[in-house]
Structure 1
């Protein structure tokens, strides 16, 4: 195995100018990350300089077998923490050979929203809190939980330390450093309320880059859990019962909200979100009704409410924002399996572009 490890970690930069680019895209389920690698003649830092590529869409649920070719358009480049050197990870979206975005390409619509002049003028910032659960591969039960049984009740696990409270910290720390290496603006991580559950935060990120960075951070985490022999779950309620679910709280601000007197802008934006609550819920992730019950730090899925420092609200405003009369707010409704392109662009559409 040591010889295999030596080859995996082999630095080829001294013997060739060629690099490896890992093309990443989202499959037909909307959550299945796919990737494949290709050799390029030399280092590349501009995604527009990368070649387009194709894949078999019939094997990802995105095209019929008799017309299976789907084209990858490179959109964002990150350093590859696995191969290192000049090698790169490339976030792509998917198109037909005729150049039309395929139905599962959520990035295309988001990019149009974020390129709107009214949106550009407001410089929308996002901070996304991505929760996830680590699952024991063979028994399909959260990491650290006794097989066929349950751990002690919630309380000591949130931001906890110790072998009986924190399960999977090696994976979490490896992911943290790998994201920093890749160039993702990962801003922190912590153990969550349910044992075996963790969170990382990405942001502040501007516009479309928020979606790119969350997806690549998810990809990196998926690769690390693969190496660790642990299954990564973004299910919003991985264990039924008196356990917290998993969300992707989305913190948001605009230039107007961050300016003096921005609290009034925030309140007007939240009012708009309330008027479109049902539309947002439909787009905020699969199985979210199992999580948004009004318990375990959530608001009931059927009712929209907001409050200051209220973690049982749909939208929470921080005390610091209230005190400063400017800042940001947190949409607590998105589930852990939400599409960040969809959620971020929808928040922007509702709060900036929609004129009730």
Structure 2
């Protein structure tokens, strides 16, 4: 017997990378080996030296094909075995290893928007729906669009064994969210990329496309983000570490903004539950701040923080690396580990 291994990787498209995949048939029981692809077709090589290497880093059951078939997430290497310049996972791996003893964990809220026939799902042809307000966590055919796709995607993620922790309808029609975590930085990032691939693949069967555009509709409509919840062991045990982490994020605010997704200025305007991209703030229960400290965390004097700045189209390897590097280094310096 044999099985189908769907090799998935992140390409070199800028400013926002795209997912690619192809299928390899492997003998029953065989582990997915390294493989190759034409990097000149994925913005990762030139035609005269086009070979790139797929190195498996995460595998899980394939919920689309079922049976013993597998999804194989890969990092991209150069033929000499070194990380490809587009390989942001390798940098996260090094930072995660450095601060592993602080036990950082993440929960990432992935927002996205369904499109069909060139407009957001639920938007009438040639016009706009009622203003946002009733769509968030709504119910009913006049408020919710695409639930059958969302439920199918949720089941696919669960059947794949991903750490999916919830779903909900978002503020704009056709806009939804799923959450991954809380798990380690590498696990959160790997599984978010696989969950994104499954979202695109499931929506494909319904003739619908899903986009991570941070501002899919201009005007008085919410953008799409990837709010990133973060904690270390010290933060889960005491409030002083939480304040140290929040202050540290402010000291490197613009470095983070540059790594939080393309066209972030279109979403972080200071409106629609965002802080301006050019300013940094944090506060308790404040969804207009850059970083929110949940009210329960302030009451318990321990827990986690929510960085509300990352875009829906962010690279989770970059976001988690920046947060671990910034916060864990500050906690280490302050002796709060």
Same structural fold, with TM-score higher than 0.5 when normalized by the shorter chain? yes
- 2:318 is matched with 342
Distance 1:43 1:269 in 2: 45
Partner of 1:23: 7
SS at match of 2:311: coil
CA-based RMSD of the aligned residues comes to 1.1
Q: Choose the corresponding residue for 1:38, options 14, 17, 24.
A: 24
Where does residue 38 of structure 2 map in the other structure?
56
Tell me which of 61, 68, 72 is aligned to 1:86. 68
Q: Per-residue deviation at 1:50?
A: 2.6
Residue 253 of structure 1: which of 224, 227, 231 is its match? 231
Output the TM-score relative to the length of structure 1: 0.91
2:322 corresponds to 1:318: no
> 2:5, 2:32 within 8 Å by CA — same for their partners in 1?
no
What is the match of residue 6 of structure 1?
Answer: none
Deviation per residue, 1:21-77 (Å, 9 max, x gap)? 111001112431100111111135xxxx43100000000010000000000000001
Summarize deviations over 1:315-337 as a string: whole Å, max 9, x none: 00011111111000000000000
* Structure 2 CA distance for aligned equivalents of residues 148 and 186 of structure 1: 36
Maintained 8 Å contact 1:33/1:219 = yes
Corresponding residue number in structure 1 for 2:190: 212
1:148 and 1:199 map into 2 onto residues whose CA distance is 26
Partners of 1:43 and 1:200 in 2: how far apart? 32
290, 293, 307: which one pairs with 2:266?
Answer: 290
Q: Which runs of 4+ in 1 moved over 2 A?
A: 353-356
From 49, 65, 70, give the equivalent of 2:47.
65
* Pairs within 5 Å for 1:178-197: 178-197=156-175
Q: What CA distance in whole angstroms lies between the structure 2 residues aligned with 1:207 and 1:221?
A: 21
Kindly report which structure 2 residues correspond to 1:101-120, keeping only aligned pairs within 5 A, or say none: 101-116=83-98, 119-120=99-100
- Does residue 145 (structure 1) correspond to residue 127 (structure 2)? The answer is no
Contact between 1:129 and 1:200, CA under 8 Å: does it hold in 2? yes
Determine if contact 2:122/2:145 at 8 Å carries over to the other structure. yes
What's the secondary structure of 2:48's corresponding residue?
helix
The answer on whether the counterparts of 1:123 and 1:207 sit within 8 Å (CA) in structure 2 is no
Q: Is the 8 A contact 1:43 1:87 kept in 2?
A: no
Number of corresponding residues: 330
Which residue is equivalent to 1:307? 283
The reply on whether 1:155 has 2:137 as its aligned counterpart is no
- Give a deviation string over 1:269-297, Cα, whole Å, max 9, x none: 11010000000000000011000000000
Structure 2 counterpart of 1:175: 153
In structure 2, what is the equivalent of residue 13 of structure 1?
Answer: none
Contact kept, 8 Å, 1:157 with 1:165, in 2: the verdict is yes
Tell me how far 1:207 sits from its aligned partner.
Answer: 2.3
Please say if 1:129 is aligned against 2:129. Answer: no
Q: Take 2:290 and 2:306, find their aligned partners in 1: how far apart are those partners? A: 9
Kindly state the Cα deviation for residue 83 of structure 1 after the two structures are TM-superposed. Answer: 1.0
Question: How many Å separate the matches in 2 of 1:88 and 1:111?
Answer: 23
- Aligned residue for 1:98? 80
Q: Which runs of 5+ in 1 are unaligned?
A: 1-15
**SS across alignment from 2:40:** helix
Q: Is the contact made by 1:238 and 1:245 (CA closer than 8 Å) also made in structure 2?
A: yes
Deviation of 1:232 after TM superposition, in Å, equals 1.0
